[in-house]
Amino acid sequence: MQADTSFFGAPLRFMYTPHPVVSMPPSVLRGYIEGKDPKTGRPLLEEVLEALTRPYTADESRNLAVVRPTPQRRRLLEPNTEENLHRLFVERGWSDGLPIILPTEERVAAMLAGTGQPPDKRVGKSLVVDTQENLEVTVETVAIAAVMAGAKPEHLPVLCAIASTGQPAIQPSTLPFTSALLVNGPIRNKIGMNSGMGALGPYNSVNAVIGRAWTLMSILWGYARRKQTFWTSQGNNYTYNNLCMAENEERSVWEPFHVQKGHRREESVVSLFRGWNLINSTGAAARRSWGDEVKLQMQALPALYSGATLILDPMLAGHLKDYQGFETPMDAGRWISENIRMTASQFWRNDIIDMLVTPLALAGVQPYADWKKLPADALIAPYNKPAKINILVVGGETSPLWKVSDLDYTVSASIDKWLAESPDGTRGKGDRDSEEAPGAYGSPKS
């Protein structure tokens, strides 16, 4: 809000309540409102009423916007020692805190060989919070992040496809968001991604650098700024490389995820997800069925907008098809939708649900409006939309394990148009001004 005052000249008056607000019972929140502003010591309600009724003074009415000259951006930094340049990147908030590969002109040029698109091809756009600039993402700016993350030219098409979606890896919130990305199609094996044993662990450089580059893109392009857009108390360590994985299509008994979303099997596609929580199974329990285990796990998730994502080892996917009769992932989604229940009280007393879904219920959106009227002990089916249950097959078949998460699928993007050569053997080409992505984040060209 204070940024709005300096950027737009909005005459805002500020009052403050004690913290925390999240998870506090209504009696405590009421005490906040009826109590005193912790900054001024005055009764909060008295300050609110005064702020709403007292006319603005001449000083408050003047334009308080801070005039900022358009930054003079240079494409290259001045030459310096490697140690000093590394320090500069850290001091200016241009890294994730880990060592980087300095994006020299020569390294970026070598990276650009990984795509058939020109360096100035527009990929997306962004609002940089520091300067309130709307800046464009180009293929070259994606290549800069790729170099810094330690990626190779053959990884660049995947990163361009990610950038084209406009979805940053780090979400602006006080909540510890996380993100995930899944790669399907021929490029998985071509660039050596891991879809098998340890696919989500630190055992494959390709998975690691692609996931990390997504975070660096968010940081470099001004979208992720601590204490400006990023206010979460603890953060989320998943955002170092964003649960980057490839699907084990060769060992899956079901059609690949990108085919389920309408893409051709022979097309290379990246799909993005975002959420908060990930729950690991502790094994194929002997005393309970898979269904009973999943019920317990998914009842612990917030079931936001009915979405969830399950990551299954191929061995478990085969078991569910052969012995549970789930011929498709949608069959498993329907079973979850029809069999998982929780009380209305458990659903509505979750902070995330209360914050994001209660407004929908009050606006009459179904089924939330009806659920809001139910008694506390009434049972509801929180995963009431089977199509929102995503099933991904990843793993090395050493044990029939799985992960359950509240990750919500957001978007998929084709990788093929960013390849150095298209799947038919021709070099990728594209009109520099066509197919502009609807992306909402971006970067200066330096």
pLDDT given at position 437: 38
Tell me the backbone φ, ψ of residue 85, rounded to 5 degrees.
-70, -40
Name beta bridge partners: 404.
Answer: 279, 310
Determine which of 2-16, 195-209, 252-266, 356-370 has the lowest per-residue pLDDT on average. 2-16
Is residue 20 reached through a cis peptide bond, with omega within 30 degrees of 0 on the bond before it? yes
Q: Residue 144 is which amino acid?
A: I
Nearest alpha carbon to residue 100 among 150, 64, 161: 150
Residue 307 token pair: 């979405």
103-137 pLDDT tens trace:
999 999 999 999 999 999 999 877 665 556 667 89
Alpha carbon distances (Å) from 67 to 60, 61, 228: 17, 17, 19
Judge contact between 209 and 282, C-beta under 8 A: no
Q: How many helices (H) and strands (E) does the chain have?
A: 18, 12
Residue 412 token pair: 């998929």
Predicted model pTM:
0.84
pLDDT given at position 438: 38
More confident residue, 277 or 76: 277
> For helices 156-164 and 205-220, what crossing angle results, to 10°?
40
More confident residue, 66 or 189: 189
Mean pLDDT estimate for the chain: 85
Q: Which residue has the tokens 């290549």?
A: 143
Query: Highest mean pLDDT: which of 69-78, 228-237, 332-341?
Result: 332-341
Q: Under DSSP, is residue 445 helix (H, G, I), strand (E, B) or coil?
A: coil
Q: For the residues of 220-241, what is the DSSP string, one character each?
A: HTTS--BTTTB--SS--GGGGT
Domain ranges of the chain: 2-61, 74-240+416-446
Q: Under DSSP, is residue 438 helix (H, G, I), strand (E, B) or coil?
A: coil
